[in-house]
Copies of this chain bind each other. A is one copy, B any other.
Amino acid sequence: MITLYDLVFQDDRRPSPFCWRAKYALSHKGLKWVEEPMGFTEKQKIAFAGSQTVPVIKDGAKSVKDSWAIALHLDQAHPDKPLFESEAARILARFVGNWVDTAVHVAVFPLIVGDLYDRVRPVDQAYFRESRGPRLGTTDFSAFQAKAREKGLAAFQATLEPARRLLKEQLFLAGGRPGYPDYALAGAFLWARITSPVVLLETDDPVHAWRERMLDLFDGMGRRAKAA
Chain A residues near B (Cβ < 8 Å)? 85-89, 91-92, 94-96, 98-99, 101-103, 158-159, 161-163, 165-166, 169-170, 173-175, 181
Instruction: Provide the bound-state CA to CA distance between A86 and B170, in Å.
Output: 15
Does more than half of chain A's interface fall in helix, strand or loop, or is it mixed?
Answer: helix
Task: Out of B91, B96, B173, name the residue touching A174 (CB < 8 Å).
Answer: B91
Residues in B neighbouring A101, C-beta threshold 8 A: 162, 165
Q: Assuming the A-B contacts A86-B88, A162-B103, A175-B87, are A96 and B95 also in contact, with contact meaning beta carbons closer than 8 angstroms in the complex?
A: yes
Task: Out of B86, B96, B103, B181, name the residue touching A103 (CB < 8 Å).
Answer: B103
Can you sample 30 A-B contacts with CB below 8 Å? A85-B88, A86-B89, A87-B175, A88-B88, A88-B89, A88-B174, A88-B175, A91-B170, A91-B173, A91-B174, A91-B175, A92-B95, A94-B166, A95-B96, A95-B162, A95-B163, A95-B166, A95-B173, A98-B161, A98-B162, A98-B163, A98-B166, A99-B99, A101-B162, A101-B165, A102-B161, A102-B165, A103-B103, A103-B159, A103-B161
